[in-house]
Structure 1
């Protein structure tokens, strides 16, 4: 065993000992550690500085209670979190997730991934994540407002435009961001740069809603072009039907591909002629309906219960945009049999380790989430720049900046893989490039 491999395994064992129950976090660390041995071997100073052990421990984890009053007058209590993972490259930046599954392990994995993802954008932002085990679904606007106000009353003690700038994530859209910013403003005065993902009327950025989905397609198109392919004429399946999925579908269609299926938490729709993006937006963004309504309104479309990745139909490109670990080894193998040669991730860690091995063994063009879904945080950083300038950019300018960022990310990934004699292994390229960015910044700053 090489010194680099021995060091990596030693640190991973420490991670397991400290948090054996944190399965999502352990998975994220294992996936990163499995690919960075060449970088450790080439840079022995990382062992001297014990960079890995510093990297895997968040700088700060804040946990707090969130009491709020329901419409029926009862007092409810949820648990809130903010994981400030790493600030070597800039202030903490990462979303807030409101969902019943939120716990420390999930937020640590998200913050760990965010740290590396943010480094790839080339923008001065560190990594963080937060949220609560609160479910906005089924709640009235008044209940969501009261929860957000209580949540921000505690969170505001630890964030600021130059310290930690949260954004939205699952369960946190412009509505929630608006309520939280209103409470922050009441307590601290108007500082619009403290949150991103704000409604445009509150100094939010145009194109932020579209950014993650568009960015995913921009990145994937660069990866396809590097291998003599494109979206044009290709059949595509997208999981999810939220912002990321909707705008990925829209951009795939602009690029000449056809998205034939998308999903929600209960099932999926199949529309061989291509998902009707206007109908999908009407159902999900305006009416907040389920996909069963799409099948009822769109002739020749069908709705099926279960995972869209269990659907047997010929297609070439898979864009998982729903949630973590939605694709396992069995589903990945089924995708390969159905003709998939490209998988690019719009969700955070949607593929488990078994699935990733299937991609690599079958030489799938694989865009890991750290790179492929960086468009959202990149545009959040652009929103920070606009707020600092007290200005407002056009949709076209933000979209153009986003395209440049995503193209540069792929270029960095491709060049890094080649530099380490791993040409075509985009997983290794993503992990090594992002790791080097953060690790070198930490060494430059010393033990802090």
Structure 2
């Protein structure tokens, strides 16, 4: 479901303003109109609203509300309850005390590098860390963002609402979803931000390390690289292999702690940044994230005392993703459907090529949605994840941590329908 339709607290005038900001709106692109408008609100209203609201869903392959990682978290320290209620927790000054020190030690194990107390800031979610980062960049005079795609829809809405000029770089399956973003760095004018995700959002594939290192090496003074690592499942992290992430590198990384575990009820994340930016983040804490959830903070600190346990949980989730990918690939064998090769994170996608069928794309798309409606299985399509438009192909979002019957039965049903080559 699109961010606008989920956020029912947004007024109608504001919804219209957000919609106007969607491509082609005030967003530039590297080629002529490679992106389709995110039309999920219309799709939801026409095909899936009655199914969802009546609870008649049989399969929910794209679902975002629930995950099934098979993990149970029970705080073990007797101090957790008193810690939760004892005070107002906000990452301003030394307010978090030893709690932040513990989180820093966990990050050091995860990234295999040292973190100063002023080289990361705590937020209630990666979404608020992203918003805080954009505010900080805007305060530093940044006006232009060059973003790799696919891209998390919340990020593009935040960029547009804050008035940034955004250039979206399209990517395609036949080129390995590489945008050539490093080539845009060479000609960048300060101040510009380059925005990527690790793993790549909607694909679950890891960034090419040499390209990331090129970005850091080539980035002009006054420009920044932001890496959205909300779904990073590897421990050590994928980017920990590089030695480019020194304390003063012009890089900001957004990291989720419980997000990659599928434990979305815990609300805590971090922005990893050069110490020189700490004052910007500190000044925005009250406006952007406010008080942190004390319970989430307490549980995270328990993991900080046992990084091996945290690593074990991440490994468990990643193994589950890879196993489920193999199962789904076996179901798709013999069909025209292609699974994007997810290896990290739990949000992936399936490609539905129409092949040589003569129907126009809009007709095939309607046929797909009507079939999903008849089977009572709501889906999210590629436009909602900022996949570039490809004639004769549609993308469906898959949540690899949804309950098995949702995604596996969906694969079986779709393979039977699209069994032409």
TM-score when normalising by structure 2: 0.29
Relative contact order, higher structure (CA 8 A, sep 6+): 2
